[in-house]
Structure 1
Amino acid sequence: MAAEVRPLLPARAPPGPAALTPDQAYWKTFKNQVLLPSPHNSAVTSITTPTHNPSGSQADVFAVTSGGRVQIFNIKTRKLVKSISRFGLEDTARSGVLRRDGRILLAGGDSGTVQAFDTGSRAILKQWRGAQAHRQPVHVVRWNPSVLTDLMSCSDDRTVRAWDLTEDVAKWTGVGHADYVRSGCYLPEQQSMIASGSYDQTVRLWDSRQQGAVMTFKHAAPIECILPLNASTLAAAAGNEVSILNLTAGRPEHFVRAHQKTVTALSTAQNSRRLLTGALDGHVKIHDVTSWEVVGGIKYSAPILSLAVINAGAEDRHLAVGLQSGLLALRTRLAGSEKVRAKEKEKKMQALLAGEGDEYERKQRKKDLRQGVRARDRGKDFQGEGADIVITGNERSRQSMKKLSAWQRSLRGGEYGLALDQVLQPDDGTVKNAEVVTLVTALRHRSALRIALDGRRAEQLVSILEWCLKGIASPKNVYLAYDVMLVLVDLYSHKLVEWAEDGEEGEEVVRLIKRVQKRVRSGVELAERAASTLGMVQMLEAG
């Protein structure tokens, strides 16, 4: 029985980039990145926002700690508001954090001193130091989310302490860690519960109304950072993994392994539906807190030491990342009227660059006069509806089989030159680029391209050169046009002088070859300029 003859499948261009997922689209809206150098290029070790206020009001500032000072930035403008540097000459500030009303800044230091500053006057309101305080560096200080005058601190002296702003000595001390305590926090909705993470590879849960740890979780690496996800769940970064601890069940629920190096910073976003992790590998990974899968990521140029998603009201406003190189990277998410203005500004700039500024202004005036829904947006929400999804099997009915076209029959019979002529000079006079691409691709695969192009007269090369001229300008077809031109030059370069003197057909071939040469040279120049521009942009980004 003879084999079934089926039409040659059309060649398809390589697929473009995959469509963005909702999470990827969301995090791509964090744009307008600014890189702010820290004083003396000191590493940015802490980024904090005011503690959450149950009443809903919150100061519109955030604190950034680097070197010997704490800088306060405005959330709305991203501008520096205050800089507090009243630390010792050899002291290093740690963990600057603002109270929820923004009036008092709390900070630790390598000297072991815990200080409270008035953010208005920069005056020191309170200092805890000496025999009744910490004697080694204090890396973490935090305000109680419920009580305005309560705070806590964690120190390298292996203790966790709770303080009252009006008292000189600690009202509670947690003793039990065997190494530096470098992370700590209050648990939400439980003003007496404190969690701490230590380099002794444990996370301990404390009740400040009693002595001794209530619960201990042992890990395989030192604890760099802890973050409460809710009243009963805690995230702890140990080495290059993050453990999700269930405080009610007293066991880890899940281990998040997405980084190659130590995880140093944690933050939540999208109303605690996403967990962000930053690490020394320079990556920020976004995780879904339901499945714990990675749903997005951002790469930075240096190891990450601190990370925070800064909110404006109920929405995520900024993604702030502190780098070991001394840079604070701020990405801002525009929303509402700001987003509309930014988009209009971008369109106007594109119109000006294209020399169509007057036309753009005219269209804008007409747009402002229109009322109601714009015509181009009408029905936009219904695109794609009503489409049927049909899954076919391996049916081979005669009705579903298409007849072979003339060039496909010639290709099947091995008449490669005739097939090329038929596809470039069809009976109806309309050259279909998809068919040309399919045929040339098939000839390359069969190593028959040279056979199809050999032995031709000058007038038979005109249609081929015209297609090559168009193909060079198309990124999808340039590689095929290149192969065809390479074979043509090899076969007919010795005849160009003869054709140039022969007559009209020969002159047309020479003219087309010169046009191809000119277009290639123009493309090379554009590519060189693009590469040069890309290099300058990369230098600006690195700076």
Structure 2
Amino acid sequence: MAHISYPFKKTNKTLYQKPASILTEDSLYWKKLGLPYLVKEFGAIDYLDFSPVEPYYFAATCSVRVQIYDPITKVVAKNISKFVEAAYGATFRTDGRLLVAGSEEAVVKLFDVQSKNVLRVFTGHTGPVHRTFFTKDQVKVLSLSDDKSVCLWDIATEEKVATFSEHTDYVRAGAPSPISPDIILSGGYDHAVKLYDCRSNETVLTVNHGSPVESTLFLPSGGLFISAGGTEIKVWDIFNGGKLLANISQHHKTVTTLRLASNNSRLMSASLDRHVKIYDISSFKVVHNIDFPNAVLSMAISEHDDVLAVGMVDGVISIRKREQPSHHTGEKQGLFKFAPDHVEVGTTTVDTVVSKQKAVIEPECDKLLRKSEFSKALATVLKAVVATKHPEKTAAVIQEMLRRKILHIAMVGLDEQKIGALLKFFIKNLGETRFTRTVIDAANVFVDVFDAQVKLFSEQNLWLYKSLQKELREEIEVCKKVSELEGAISLLLAGAQVDTSSTLESNEPLIPSTKAQKEIVIDV
């Protein structure tokens, strides 16, 4: 009997991929920032700031010291530890030679970066000073304190030039004007953002952000400023009496830091929701998003966007350095260096070069599925690098095995380590809407296969199994509450006398059904 070969259908992993935005020039540009290099400090990273001059060192303020890192070697180049209590908000002057920082000691200290010596100590605040900046003329220092005051200090005489005490709560955000040394900005936990003119010692503008203000900055023109607090970023027009021009709400937790990048054409925001978002200044639309493993407290980016440093609450600094593009020097390479100048390298007027078709590389899991080595195929996609970074590949293979009704065969051949990896995948992705249906169906098969062997599991796998039980119980409780809420909303809509043309159709569910998540109950 002749053997009939059927075409092999590749595993479809596009079904489980995140809904990706259109691949733009911004996405390509920011994705060239290399893999993160992580550095662990002893406390939360309060503030990060890059030196404006080469070699673009950056200062990380954490605990009772300021660490100055070399972004190329990723090691500490200088350590400024002349603080008795916590240091805050260290920033460089534009020449990179001086650095100013606040502290829990209620003083502001000015350092020489090269020698690390304390040059000035500005005393006068009665509370911790969380943010410090140099003014436009570089001869004065701005400080913002928990004593609800904003002060301006003269570096040469070490004296206080101006004081503003109009906030009613902590002042932990501010910025000097980029066009005038006498205009300064402050943001407080009283929700107010205030603009001061130091020539007349008065407040010239006050706006209400609506949440405790965590960060502020001026746009390069000096006529607009941006405030961040709560989950919102707001853009204000100074010359129109503080008119609100834009309200950006792209984060779901507190926004902690604002920065300008790409020659001031892009705005960056960092948040406790573990995201750094990048906006186009012209439209304030998100053009790229970068994820981090923990809540982001501080962020800074170097000149020309070469290095991105992000500080997190657990004391980890993530350093991403841009991959340097290979620059074409114009010099002819190899044998072509002897070609005449009038002949363009790489072209010919006689021959037609047909480019070689690149062979399509088949994924390893598909090769193993083709050979009916199901356990090995499943083990391939349960590797940590795949299941963590590309869970859609793991889900796609599991779904393909469910479709072929061979998942139970693949599970039987798994060793203890891979069983643990499978349980971890279930626990991590149970609540992910892309994978919920697949995880539930696969977990049902898992119970059928290993129900009699659960007590023989290793201690770690038994703990993972019980954790999966707990996750399922919590998910079922959430589903019950969602169903109750859906019923309550339906009753309210049914009783409301509204125009049907402006409301939802009655046959459209208000909340996506999640009843499938109730199907599984595991008994040890």
Q: TM-score, normalised by structure 2?
A: 0.62
Distance 1:517 1:84, change over 3 A: closer
Distance 1:266 1:367, change over 3 A: same
Out of 229, 240, 248, the residue aligned to residue 238 of structure 1 is: 229
The answer to whether the 8 Å contact 1:60/1:76 transfers is: no
What secondary structure sits across from 1:520 in the alignment? coil
> 2:48 matched to which residue of 1?
47
> 1:490 matched to which residue of 2?
none
Trace 1:63-82 onto structure 2 (pairs within 5 A). Answer: 63-82=59-78
Out of 125, 130, 135, the residue aligned to residue 139 of structure 1 is: 130
> 1:520 matched to which residue of 2?
372
Out of 157, 167, 171, the residue aligned to residue 177 of structure 1 is: 167
> 1:396 matched to which residue of 2?
none
> 2:56 matched to which residue of 1?
60
What secondary structure sits across from 2:142 in the alignment? strand
| C-alpha displacement of 1:73 | 1.8
CA distance in structure 2 between the partners assigned to 1:49 and 1:128 by the alignment? 23
Trace 1:106-145 onto structure 2 (pairs within 5 A). Answer: 106-129=100-123, 133-145=124-136
Out of 326, 345, 350, the residue aligned to residue 315 of structure 2 is: 326
Query: Match for 1:84: what amino acid?
Result: I
Out of 254, 257, 260, the residue aligned to residue 252 of structure 2 is: 260
The answer to whether the 8 Å contact 2:209/2:227 transfers is: no
The answer to whether the 8 Å contact 2:381/2:387 transfers is: no
- 1:124-182 C-alpha deviation (Å, 9 max, x unpaired): 111122xxx101000000012323x2111000111111111122331111121111100
What secondary structure sits across from 2:160 in the alignment? coil
The answer to whether the 8 Å contact 1:118/1:124 transfers is: yes
The answer to whether the 8 Å contact 2:56/2:302 transfers is: no
- 1:100-135 C-alpha deviation (Å, 9 max, x unpaired): 222222110011111112222222111122xxx101
User: Gaps (5+ residues) in structure 2?
Assistant: 1-8, 350-360, 390-420, 422-524
CA distance in structure 2 between the partners assigned to 1:533 and 1:301 by the alignment? 16
Out of 24, 31, 34, the residue aligned to residue 31 of structure 1 is: 34
Query: Match for 1:532: what amino acid?
Result: K
> 1:168 matched to which residue of 2?
158
Query: Match for 1:46: what amino acid?
Result: Y
Distance 1:212 1:320, change over 3 A: same
> 2:206 matched to which residue of 1?
216
Distance 1:375 1:111, change over 3 A: same
- 1:185-220 C-alpha deviation (Å, 9 max, x unpaired): 101011110000001101000011122211001121
Q: Percent identity?
A: 31
CA distance in structure 2 between the partners assigned to 1:475 and 1:63 by the alignment? 44
The answer to whether the 8 Å contact 1:128/1:169 transfers is: yes
Distance 1:377 1:227, change over 3 A: farther
Query: Match for 1:67: what amino acid?
Result: S
CA distance in structure 2 between the partners assigned to 1:76 and 1:377 by the alignment? 43
| C-alpha displacement of 1:27 | 0.7
> 2:191 matched to which residue of 1?
201
- 1:273-309 C-alpha deviation (Å, 9 max, x unpaired): 1111111111111111111111110111111100111
> 1:157 matched to which residue of 2?
147
| C-alpha displacement of 1:335 | 2.9
Distance 1:100 1:528, change over 3 A: same
CA distance in structure 2 between the partners assigned to 1:325 and 1:368 by the alignment? 51
The answer to whether the 8 Å contact 1:73/1:82 transfers is: yes
Out of 273, 280, 284, the residue aligned to residue 265 of structure 2 is: 273
> 1:447 matched to which residue of 2?
none
| C-alpha displacement of 1:221 | 0.7
| C-alpha displacement of 1:85 | 0.7
> 2:324 matched to which residue of 1?
335
The answer to whether the 8 Å contact 1:59/1:100 transfers is: no
Distance 1:305 1:477, change over 3 A: closer
> Is 1:369 aligned to 2:365, yes or no?
no
CA distance in structure 2 between the partners assigned to 1:529 and 1:92 by the alignment? 48
The answer to whether the 8 Å contact 2:307/2:319 transfers is: yes
- 1:21-48 C-alpha deviation (Å, 9 max, x unpaired): 111111100013201111x2x1111011
| C-alpha displacement of 1:258 | 0.1
Distance 1:185 1:58, change over 3 A: farther
**Which stretches of structure 1, 4 residues or longer, exceed 3 Å deviation after superposition?**
11-19, 75-79, 366-378, 473-478, 515-518, 535-539
Distance 1:376 1:298, change over 3 A: farther
The answer to whether the 8 Å contact 2:44/2:314 transfers is: yes
The higher radius of gyration belongs to 1
> 2:96 matched to which residue of 1?
102
> 1:293 matched to which residue of 2?
285
What secondary structure sits across from 2:126 in the alignment? coil
CA distance in structure 1 between the partners assigned to 2:76 and 2:347 by the alignment? 42
Query: Match for 2:49: what amino acid?
Result: T
CA distance in structure 1 between the partners assigned to 2:131 and 2:89 by the alignment? 5
> 1:394 matched to which residue of 2?
none
Distance 1:252 1:83, change over 3 A: same
User: Gaps (5+ residues) in structure 1?
Assistant: 1-10, 342-365, 379-472, 479-514
Trace 1:301-312 onto structure 2 (pairs within 5 A). Answer: 301-311=293-303
> What is the number of equivalent residue pairs in this alignment?
357
Distance 1:79 1:368, change over 3 A: farther
Query: Match for 2:50: what amino acid?
Result: T
CA distance in structure 1 between the partners assigned to 2:312 and 2:231 by the alignment? 17
Distance 1:527 1:12, change over 3 A: closer
Q: Which moved more, 1:60-69 or 1:254-263?
A: 60-69
The answer to whether the 8 Å contact 2:271/2:296 transfers is: yes
| C-alpha displacement of 1:527 | 4.2
The answer to whether the 8 Å contact 1:176/1:212 transfers is: no
Instruction: Supply the RMSD in Å over aligned alpha carbons.
Output: 3.3
